[in-house]
Amino acid sequence: MTAPALQFDVFTLFPDVFAPYLQSSILLRAQQRQLIQIQLHNIRDWTTDRHHITDDEPYGGGGGMVMKPEPIFTAVESVLGSPPTCPVILLTPQGRLFNQGVARQLVQPALEGLTAAAELPSPRLALLCGRYEGIDERVRQYLVSDEISIGDYVLTGGELAALVVIDAVSRLIPGVLGDPDGAEDDSHASGLLEYPHYTRPPEFRGYPVPEVLLSGDHARIARWRREQALLRTWQRRPDMLPNAPLSDKDRKFLAKLEAELPQEPDA
């Protein structure tokens, strides 16, 4: 049995919330095929007091509770060593914003491991889920190596964010998606939003599928898809265009759009 391409170690007070998502669909298959391994660690298991307390009142007063440092340090160091040799990522709205580029960074050690000549131990990513009002600052300072936010809103804890990171990173490992090129055309992967998709029937409630897709002309279809991706990105996410890799043909198409359909100025 070969080592998985990537191992996730999730530290959480609510391991049960992960199972329904991780035990379904593509991530379940990826685990069954040993492409990824996900280990859930309940921080409460590393408490030493009779009541298994993981939080306490904030020094200086104020509302809310703060996650205590001891069980978190003990949990992470017991599993990963002291100091941990893999990234320890805290999920927090104060972290750097997660996007496709960050997902690509995080999967990189796994991709390098797949092409290494000798079999190495699996690269690991530790994900630490915060809860309550916050986490003792010493965890950030002395244990965590990276902080990630999945968006500018506040969740009740880092668990959903950890699932988002696991999902977005795992699908970049070759073989996780059925289609070997599955992740390449995705929105964001190419720096553009993805083109629209259609399947049978060719006409539904009078709404037809664009004729070009039924034509069997692969060059025309490829050009149409590229132009639709450009159009969509120009309409919905023009902020992405300056960073997208564009050909001369793409630029001409965008210039034509600008000339024909001047964009509404922001309201």
Per rule CB under 6 A, is residue 65 in the interface with ligand ADE?
no
Q: Helix (H, G, I), strand (E, B), or coil: what is residue 146?
A: strand
The answer to whether the CB of 176 falls within 8 A of the CB of 165 is no
Cβ at position 135, least distance to ligand ADE in Å: 10
Indicate which single residue of 7, 122, 149, 233 sits in contact with ligand ADE (rule: CB under 6 A).
149
Length of the chain: 267
Per rule CB under 6 A, is residue 76 in the interface with ligand ADE?
no
Indicate the helix (H) or strand (E) that contains 28.
helix 25-32
Dihedrals φ, ψ of 266, to 5°?
-55, 135
Strands 146-149, 6-12: pairing is unpaired
Cβ at position 153, least distance to ligand ADE in Å: 6
Per rule CB under 6 A, is residue 17 in the interface with ligand ADE?
no
* Residue 163 to residue 8: CA distance in whole angstroms: 11
Per rule CB under 6 A, is residue 155 in the interface with ligand ADE?
yes
Site for ligand ADE in 102-131 (CB under 6 A): 130
* Residue 56 to residue 134: CA distance in whole angstroms: 10
38 or 90, CB closer to ligand ADE?
Answer: 90
Tokens of 247: 């050909």
Indicate which single residue of 81, 83, 151, 202 sits in contact with ligand ADE (rule: CB under 6 A).
151
Check if 93 is active-site.
Answer: yes
71 or 130, CB closer to ligand ADE?
Answer: 130
Contacts of 85 (CB under 8 A, 6+ apart): none
Per rule CB under 6 A, is residue 150 in the interface with ligand ADE?
yes
Indicate which single residue of 30, 72, 161, 230 sits in contact with ligand ADE (rule: CB under 6 A).
161
* Residue 15 to residue 19: CA distance in whole angstroms: 8
Q: Select which of 185, 186, 194, 227 is catalytic.
A: 186
Catalytic residue numbers read 93, 133, 171, 186
Interaction site with ligand ADE (CB under 6 A)? 91-93, 130, 149-151, 153-155, 157-158, 161
